[in-house]
Amino acid sequence: MSAPQVNSTQPMHFMPGPGFRSRSKEVLDNPFLRQSFRGAMDFLMQKRAAQFPDPANLEALRSQGEAIRKYSLSRLPDLLEQLEANLTRNGIQVHWAENPEQAQDIIAGLMEKAQAPLMVKGKSMVSEEVELNHALIARGMDALESDMGEYIVQLAGERPSHIIMPAIHKTKEEIARLFAEKVPGVDYTDSVDELIQIGRRVLREKFRETKVGLSGVNFAVAETGTLCLVENEGNGRMCTTVPDMHIAITGIEKVVEKLEHVPPLLALLTRSATGQAVTTYFNWISSPRKAHELDGPKEVHLVLVDNGRTQAYAREDFRSTLQCIRCGACMNHCPVYTRIGGLAYGTTYPGPIGKIISPHMLGLEGTGELVTASSLCGACGEVCPVRIPIPELLIDLRARSQSGGPDPFTPQLKGEGSNRKPFMALAFSLWSLLYRSPGLYRLFAWSATRFRALAPRNQGAWTRTRTPLIPAKKSLHELVRERRNQ
Amino acid sequence: MSATPQTSSARANILARLRSKPVPPLPQPTVQVWTSQMGDQPVEVLRQSLKSNLEAAHAEVIQAGPEGWRATLQKVCQDQGIKTLMLPRSLPPTLDIAPWDQGPALSRFDQPMETLKDSLFNQVDAGFTLAECAIADTGTLVLLSSPEQPRSLSLVPPVHICLLDVRRLHTDMPTALAREQWASAMPTNLIFVSGPSKTADIQQTLAYGAHGPKSLIVILVEEDLQ
């Protein structure tokens, strides 16, 4: 595996490192990795398609999902207050974090309070987004991933390459070698069943002993004060049942108003993500252990994270970004993601959704290059279960990343205009001038066709993979004129 | 609520940013049922659908025999080599099992988990629970956590055996939510279970018994379990 690795003892880094292109090229040059991603994406695409045999049914379900997410967002601040009031009434403590550092402080503080040096984690992309593991290590604490894929990725000192299937870039032989090397007392075996049983044994001990469990949240229901969790393995239930303290972390956009809003979103989520009609477990958590109950955590906390979501919310054109239910279908169907995989992006969320959400979290300075990594084929928008217009948002973000002076009428995005290059800006002003003035245009067309022999053979990035652009002998206008004169 | 000064100002700032530009509230969406085309169906149809969906998810579904479900349970335990079975803290009087002569050794989840951890994690072969109801369309059992029936009983032991009254079958999830009226009083933990624990995290190869039970056995009865 030659994709970039992040050692878990390295300092935190919220920004994607430079070198998106070189990371992409590394993956493209690795036939093994390319085959892994291609195979996995084909598998996920087929499984999703099998769940939606009737296009009319699919569209009806998408319409409901979209309507529910749009409705929830339209009332977001009110729903967050209602959620907080009901969670608090149920005995779940609510914390708010504007940025990753605040989320880290809140969680580290809770662990100190519980006198727990270690937490076991269910799968949570928001915890990746706020670099929780690194922050805890820096404070002398630690976090153990318990989702099988995340556990593998953590053992290898890497990051998840897919939001649903984190270890999709690794073969069973690589995992077998990793376990034999890193798990004490384990011999090499490439039987998937045995590998999973090794993970099960190691992690069960940890579930039993550890005082703090962390989970993400798939949906938070305001009217009842309920946190919903979708999973297949049971590690999410372990993390939220066995330890004394359960900390849930999620983005502020995950709230819906009513219980009845959950089933359509759940049906879309599991079918779009892994092609399952339902997952093994769907867990509705509404309270810590009550008096007379014999199990469950004694304390439950929810950390609500902003981290740039309010920026996307404030502008109508970018608000739909927050409709996302994190199914990963956009990456499974993306021709770019399928070829370069999730690690090349360098951001927590890869693929099309990563390209439209990361700029709000990290600013366009660091992510401006990512929004250009799309052929705009539209596959992501077509499969999105809640109809986020991803291609349109990509075009908007491209324009924002290169826009000129501040526009007094709309709030600025973080890093707006940071990818503006004077030469390119000049080239496009000239282009626009040319097309607005017929005289100049004719002169340009005449000289370009007459001096076509002077067109350079080396045209930079264009000729790296294509034949050079050389003007035709005659312009279209000339050809039409000749024909008319015949 | 133990809000630190930092999180309370974070709260105010986040809400203020969300309200900086008023967003017109959209009308409440109407939620219709779309996944199943089944509508209201006789119990037999729902039972078949539940059975085939659960079996597709690698669960075992057994109809209780004429000698009653206790005999079926004993046979299941015998077939599976289950030597120790943990029951909920208390079962309704008409459903109680213990004591029995044949069958596995019985224990009860009658202590806080902290004291029972060792037996729950390392000794018990199977946990026995009563389902509240079930959803036919997806093959889903609905379990409620309560003082009588702790939630880890369906999670930690390697085998989960669940008793379900087939008359408590709903067509699909929206119907179940509407009819059960959970919204008015959510239990501590409402758990939807649609098979044994599984993962496909290694090369998309399905493996069972990831962290939860390796097998799920459902015994169908027509008997009040409340």
Cβ atoms of residues B134 and B164 within 8 Å: yes
User: What's B122's DSSP letter?
Assistant: I
Q: Do B202 and A148 touch (CB under 8 A)?
A: yes
Cβ atoms of residues A222 and A73 within 8 Å: no
pLDDT confidence of residue A15: 63
- Residue A208 — pLDDT band, cuts 50, 70, 90? very high
Classify A326 in phi/psi space as left (phi over 0), alpha (psi -120 to 50) or beta: left
pLDDT confidence of residue A456: 92
Least confident range from A10-14, A329-333, B17-21: namely A10-14
* B118 Cβ contact partners less than 8 Å away, ≥ 6 residues apart: none
Chain A closest-CA separation from residue B70 CA (Å): 26
Residue A485 belongs to what H/E stretch?
A: helix A476-485
Partners of B172 on chain A (C-beta within 8 Å) are 263
Peptide bond into B99 cis (omega under 30): yes
CATH class given for the domain over B41-221: alpha beta
Cβ atoms of residues A88 and A345 within 8 Å: no
pLDDT confidence of residue A19: 86
Give the mutation candidate from A62, A280, A298 for the B interface (greatest B CB count, under 10 A).
A280
- Residue A408 — pLDDT band, cuts 50, 70, 90? low
Provide the 10 A C-beta neighbour count for residue A400.
25
Q: Do B212 and A234 touch (CB under 8 A)?
A: yes
**Residue A81 in contact with partner chain B when CB distance is under 8 A:** yes
Say yes or no to pLDDT of A299 above 80.
yes
Alpha carbon separation from A353 to A193, A349, A470, B18, B195 (Å, rounded): 33, 7, 37, 21, 31
Closest CA to A27 of A39, A15, A35: A35
* B197 Cβ contact partners less than 8 Å away, ≥ 6 residues apart: A232, A233, A234, A280, A281, B208, B209, B210, B211, B212, B213, B214
Cβ atoms of residues A73 and A322 within 8 Å: yes
Cβ atoms of residues A288 and B189 within 8 Å: no
Residues of chain A with pLDDT > 70: what percent?
95
pLDDT confidence of residue A404: 73
Q: In terms of DSSP bridges, do strands B189-193 and A281-285 run parallel, antiparallel, or are they unpaired?
A: antiparallel
**Residue B111 in contact with partner chain A when CB distance is under 8 A:** yes
Cβ atoms of residues A202 and A208 within 8 Å: no
- Residue A5 — pLDDT band, cuts 50, 70, 90? very low
**Residue A171 in contact with partner chain B when CB distance is under 8 A:** yes
Q: Does residue A229 sit in helix, strand or coil? A: strand
Note which residues in 167-206 of chain B have CB less than 8 A from chain A. 172-174, 177-178, 182-183, 186-205
- Residue A369 — pLDDT band, cuts 50, 70, 90? confident
Beta strands in chain B (DSSP E): 60-63, 84-87, 105-108, 126-130, 133-135, 140-144, 159-165, 169-170, 189-193, 198-199, 207-208, 215-221
pLDDT confidence of residue A227: 98
Give buried/exposed letters for A24-63 (b at 16+ CB in 10 A, else e).
bebbeebeebbebbeebbebbbebbeebbeeeeebeebbe
Write the pLDDT tens digit of every residue in A65-74: 999 999 999 9
Give the mutation candidate from B1, B2, B4, B7 for the A interface (greatest A CB count, under 10 A).
B7
**Spans of all domains in chain B:** 41-221
The mean pLDDT value of chain A amounts to 93
Provide the 10 A C-beta neighbour count for residue A285.
32
pLDDT confidence of residue A406: 61
pLDDT confidence of residue B40: 72
- A395: its two tokens: 């075009």
Say yes or no to pLDDT of A411 above 80.
no
Say yes or no to pLDDT of A107 above 90.
yes
Alpha carbon separation from A205 to A231, A234, A342, A367 (Å, rounded): 20, 14, 31, 41
What is the pLDDT tens value at each position of chain B, 226 positions in all? 445 566 679 999 999 999 998 899 999 998 876 555 556 788 899 999 999 999 999 999 999 989 999 999 999 999 999 999 999 999 998 898 867 877 899 999 999 999 999 999 999 999 999 999 999 999 999 999 999 999 999 999 999 999 999 999 999 999 999 899 999 999 999 999 999 999 999 999 999 999 999 999 999 999 998 8
User: What's A457's DSSP letter?
Assistant: S
pLDDT confidence of residue B103: 84
Chain A closest-CA separation from residue B66 CA (Å): 31
Cα B155 → chain centroid: 9
**Residue A305 in contact with partner chain B when CB distance is under 8 A:** no
Q: Does residue A301 sit in helix, strand or coil? A: strand
Amino acid at A414: K
**Residue A165 in contact with partner chain B when CB distance is under 8 A:** yes
Residue among A64, A204, A293 whose CB faces B31 most closely = A64
Q: Do B26 and A274 touch (CB under 8 A)?
A: no
- Residue A76 — pLDDT band, cuts 50, 70, 90? very high
This prediction has a pTM of 0.93
Written as one string, the DSSP assignment of A13-78 is --SPPS-HHHHHHHHHT-HHHHHHHHHHHHHHHHHHHHH---HHHHHHHHHHHHHHHHHHHHTHHH
- Residue A96 — pLDDT band, cuts 50, 70, 90? very high
Give the mutation candidate from A271, A294, A315 for the B interface (greatest B CB count, under 10 A).
A294
Give buried/exposed letters for A288-327 (b at 16+ CB in 10 A, else e).
bbeeebbbbbebbbbbbbbbbbbbbbbbeebbbbbbbbbb
Residue among B1, B32, B173 whose CB faces A94 most closely = B1
Measure the CA–CA gap between B139 and B196, rounded to whole angstroms. Answer: 12
Measure the CA–CA gap between B153 and B110, rounded to whole angstroms. Answer: 11
ipTM entry: 0.95
Measure the CA–CA gap between B17 and B163, rounded to whole angstroms. Answer: 50
* B18 Cβ contact partners less than 8 Å away, ≥ 6 residues apart: A76, A77, A80, A252, A310, A313, A314
